[in-house]
Amino acid sequence: MTDFLTAAFYKFVELPDFAELKAPLLACCEANDVKGIILLATEGINSTIAGPAAGVHAVLAYLRRDPRLADLPHKEAWSTKSPFYRMKVRLKREIVTMGVPGISPTRMAGTYVKPEDWNALISDPEVVVVDTRNDYEVGIGTFAGALDPDIKSFAKLPEWVAQAPALHPANGKKPKVAMFCTGGIRCEKSTALLRAQGFDEVYHLEGGILKYLETVPEAQSLWQGQCFVFDERVSVGHGLVPGQHGLCRACRQPLDDTDLASPLFEAGVSCPKCHANTRETQKNSARERQRQWELAKARGDQAPIGVRLPRPAAP
């Protein structure tokens, strides 16, 4: 039974009045029993929401009544339980944080490449393929032959770009670059960064990995592993079938069967990847939050204050 519809969406668009949009948008979501998180900034909107189908579609229709968001695209997925416990609308400096002033995806993003054309592009030996995601995302899956910047956050990508030997000019010419991410948002910004730095041929996967996994048959796929997603599914494979990864509620990293079986894994408290990085007092606080969350879940309540929600799609 698939009662809950999840919609992920983003758009880079100038929203100088973004702060004024918060209250009515939150009211619309709450009135339609929709939960999740919406980020608003002067550069646009980024969100993942979930709820009854009619409610989610009502929120999308509300957003599209704004002429600036009339063509707002979204991706859908179904689940038997809600991936969110509360609704948040947050005001941000950027809808995806890079920290480089003057980068405008609305004017400078690279060339879109459709999923069905992606294999041919990244198979070209003259194309440098870059995975723009964080290290824990790359760790469970990526495209064959892609460069891994090994970054902890997207804000570290500009530093890697500046130093990466593969992106240095050869014979006075900058290379062709193809970039990809989960749903496309980070690629729009990273390709805009490269274009601002004088790269002429910069491409990105339209719709991101998720659209590729949905569109390209597994037999023809160059994707290897699973794709981390920013909701309770944790990871998905070809056809967007949910994977087998768990999620550490403390460090928010995906966990495989070995991690989950480790004595260092404690639900809501720690995992092998973060156990050594927190003090016992922090672990005790996390244990109490986990206990409160489990009690609230058993009652069917919303997540108690202090329990971290799944992050928005980095769609």
Helix axes 115-122, 208-215, angle to 10 degrees: 100
Q: How many residues does the chain have?
A: 315
Largest CA-CA distance found in the chain, in angstroms, rounded:
66
Helices (H), the chain: 18-31, 53-64, 105-108, 115-122, 135-138, 157-163, 185-196, 208-215, 257-261, 280-299
**Does 28 qualify as catalytic in the annotation?**
no
Choose, from 28, 181, 187, 271, the residue flagged as catalytic: 181
Residues 312, 216: Cα–Cα separation, whole Å = 25
Q: Are 232 and 83 in contact (CB under 8 A)?
A: yes
Phi, psi (rounded to 5 degrees) for 267: -50, 125
Output the six-digit token pair for 292.
């409160």
Determine the residue type at 205: L
Which residues have CB under 8 Å from 140's CB, separation 6+?
A: 225, 226, 227, 228, 235, 243, 245, 254, 256
- Other CB atoms within 10 A of residue 277 CB: 10
Residue 8 pairs with which residues in a beta bridge?
A: 48, 75
Which residues have CB under 8 Å from 46's CB, separation 6+?
A: 9, 10, 38, 39, 95, 96, 185, 312, 313, 314, 315
Which amino acids are annotated catalytic?
A: 181
